[in-house]
Structure 1
Amino acid sequence: MELSHANGEFALDVFRALCKESEGPRPSSLIISPLSISTALAMVYLGARNKTQEEMGKVLKFGQVSDVHSHFNSLMEKITAPSSYTLNLANRLFGQQSFNFSQEFLGEVQKKYLADLQAMDFVSATEAARGTINTWVEDKTENKIKELLKAGVLTPMTRLVLVNAVYFKGNWMHRFKPENTKEKPFKITKTETRPVQMMHQKQKLPHNWVREPNLQVVELPYTDPQLSMAILLPPEDTLDTITSLAEELNIFFARFEVQPPDTAIHNTPGYSSHSLVLEEQQVMSKLTISKLLEWTDPSNLRRQNVHLHLPRFKLESSASLAGTLTVLGMGSLFDCSSADLTGISVDRGLSLSALAHGVVCEVNEVGTEAAAATVDICMTVSIDRTLIFMADHPFLFLIMHKPTRSILFLGSYCGPE
């Protein structure tokens, strides 16, 4: 639990940072795999020393975890245990042939992360090495992620590539009937809509109404109750104030204040007449992993009859996280003059030159299929009635492994591009 909490805190930091980076004239959808990013970086952390180790531990929130690597090993075992869903988690090291890697590091990363070392020739066959790594990622993600490493990412100076791949496929416990899927407008902003294929079902589902910061939460269980998707939906009237994805996310945790009497009141039962206070210094500062876990905790979810309207969508995201992690405080890891990865190799000068992360997630009537890969390169409603959950405007969603409270995928859907 302590590792899942640490990984969750780190995930929100990365998600917020990426949202900030992608600010534009309209909200942009985004998805990451916190499990994939944290696992890949944890393998690097195993070989980090001194300042680099301290920086990574602080950013990754590992200070609150007693034995990081043993906990990761246990977490991976629990998440990938045989079940009715498919969840593959694979790690691999690709290292320059004849490079002086620490045998202790290789032994520990194999023991804790089940990651073997594959010898590569980055010096004279850089592109061939890139092809080999991309093929491995494609295979481990059931052909969902292709060409994770773009041309030019690897160079003859590359010495080590650490890869984590995650593939998930799960069917809904309550499938949507395809004949109920209709084209509907999705409100991207107050003045802009785009058509989506809107799925619909009436079902008794776990539901929570969080009075502050005023949002609905609904849980969609998969056939295996260990996994579920939670959708966090703000009230539609917040579109009046949405100008960027960062502000869209801020609706989940910004403070509210009562509007003057002449202000239009949202007419959905359970909502109060509040308006968003979007202070620049508070943007995305209130959402914490503790709050997120509280809102989605089974004890706070009550089974309700719900008219659920959810878009059928497919998201693809790719990001180079080196700049993001540097801003978060992991700068020395990417600086060849200050990185200390002597736990990986006694040879000085080894640093991380890139960190690539790619995710594909598809949600349809049957269920969810999602894949991710990360590469390191050296209130409850008290009345029983049918509720309307209309996800026709931007929302946040996450796929969680419930026994460990681990977030496998975290995303925001802001409409079709």
Structure 2
Amino acid sequence: MGNSKTCPSQKWKVHCLAASQRDFAKDLYLKLAEGSTGNIFFSPFGVAAGLGMACAGAKGRTKDEIKSLLHLSLRSETVHKAFRDAIIDFKNNDEHYELRTSNLVCIPDTLSVLPDYTALLSDMYQSLVKGVDFADGSAAAREINRDVETATNSRIKDLIPEGVLSGDTGTVLVNALYFKGLWNKEFKKSNTIQAAFWVSPKQSVKVPMMRSSGYFNHGSCDDIGASVLSLNYKGGNLSMVIVLPSERHGLAKVEAKLAKTGFVSALEKTMKNKLVDVVFPRLEMEEAVHLKDHLWIMGARNLFDGKASDLSGISGDRRLSVSFFFHKAVLKVDEEGGGGEASTCA
């Protein structure tokens, strides 16, 4: 991610945030992969932004645990500014991609919001904080879903499912993101064929496979047992990076290597611009997962503990805590481009 008009100090803050997010994404992926036999798909930036907004209102051990979870070593003010710069950079108008985001913090309407917290969310996260009547859970869900749908130009609907919110709900964090970009080198639809896609070492399904030949950034690493390919979007700032196990049944081995420091950099060092034959499935994927238990195991325990949580930076009231964390992501990849939408509510 980047923008030619971003000053050096901004780039440094965003670079540090990106490095921290990379480590957090690795940790969360490995946690979600434990015992999983299905797809794993989530937006690390969306989850991190939601936790960043919580961190802005957290104090004491609650705040320290969130920063540790996100691998944030920068001062809190610098962290929030880095999120601001990343969000602004993403949302800069570009004719080659569409990006819609919505950030909300919702607390019971019986509490008042501290002005400093309102200002921080507005400035750093382009976010709103509002009081919601959770006593009528269905009405509260509809209200929040309408806000998200409006902010994303109807790209994301029905973020919060029926029956989740209730009079016992504390803080609700919402992050929704929709992205759709055009490939720098589009796949010709006439080249797409039905071919085998292996979903397990012994099972395959017939899917539309897009094909293209050209110069791409590509590399491979025998030590990791995988190859890596970068598909660039038009505009030059964004790309989709794909890691493919060398063996059909090699995903578990690659995931084991992912736990070791330097996994991504080891792959990136092998990448060179070379002539590559690319075969990639046209796909549409939607995944939803409750993250509360995973994040609790990873170390953010006070955030979800009604007795220990300290989110007094939001309203001055220490009774606030996060009741649940729900994340939904949608990915669509076709011949013209790839992108997706991700939604998080906590």
TM-score when normalising by structure 2 = 0.89
Q: Match of 2:129?
A: 117
Query: Where has structure 1 moved over 6 Å in runs of 4 or more?
Result: none
Question: 1:112 is paired with a residue of what secondary structure?
Answer: helix
Q: Match of 1:108?
A: 120
1:81 is the counterpart of 2:84: no
How many correspondences in the alignment?
330
1:130-209 map, 5 Å: 130-141=141-152, 143-209=154-220
1:9-20 map, 5 Å: 9-20=23-34
1:12-411 map, 5 Å: 12-21=26-35, 23-24=36-37, 28-64=38-74, 67-83=78-94, 84-123=96-135, 125-141=136-152, 143-236=154-247, 238-239=248-249, 248-251=251-254, 254=257, 284-286=258-260, 288=261, 290-296=262-268, 300-376=270-346
- Structure-2 change in CA distance of 1:56 and 1:186 (3 Å): same
Gaps of at least 5 residues in structure 2 are 1-14
> For 1:8 and 1:285, how far apart are their aligned partners in 2?
12
> For 1:211 and 1:112, how far apart are their aligned partners in 2?
42
Identity of matched residues, %: 29
Counterpart of 1:74 in structure 2: which amino acid?
A: D
Question: 1:31 is paired with a residue of what secondary structure?
Answer: coil
> For 2:266 and 2:180, how far apart are their aligned partners in 1?
26
> For 1:71 and 1:148, how far apart are their aligned partners in 2?
26
Q: Match of 1:2?
A: 16
Question: 2:85 is paired with a residue of what secondary structure?
Answer: helix
Q: 8 Å contact 2:102–2:148 — kept in the other structure?
A: no
Q: Match of 1:270?
A: none
Identify which of structures 1 and 2 has the higher relative contact order when contacts are C-alpha pairs closer than 8 Å and 6+ apart: 1
> For 1:328 and 1:159, how far apart are their aligned partners in 2?
21
Q: 8 Å contact 1:6–1:64 — kept in the other structure?
A: no
Counterpart of 2:330 in structure 1: which amino acid?
A: V
Q: 8 Å contact 2:121–2:129 — kept in the other structure?
A: no
Counterpart of 1:148 in structure 2: which amino acid?
A: L
> For 1:139 and 1:312, how far apart are their aligned partners in 2?
29
After superposition, the C-alpha distances for 1:200-226 in whole angstroms (9 at most, x for unaligned) are 111111111223213211111111110
Gaps of at least 5 residues in structure 1 are 243-247, 255-283, 377-417
Question: 2:73 is paired with a residue of what secondary structure?
Answer: helix
Counterpart of 2:264 in structure 1: which amino acid?
A: L
**Which is higher, the Rg of structure 1 or of structure 2?**
1
After superposition, the C-alpha distances for 1:360-402 in whole angstroms (9 at most, x for unaligned) are 01001111131111112xxxxxxxxxxxxxxxxxxxxxxxxxx
Q: Match of 2:11?
A: none
After superposition, the C-alpha distances for 1:264-307 in whole angstroms (9 at most, x for unaligned) are xxxxxxxxxxxxxxxxxxxx522x4x43145236xx43221111
> For 2:316 and 2:244, how far apart are their aligned partners in 1?
50
Question: 1:251 is paired with a residue of what secondary structure?
Answer: helix
> For 1:202 and 1:34, how far apart are their aligned partners in 2?
30
Q: 8 Å contact 2:102–2:152 — kept in the other structure?
A: no
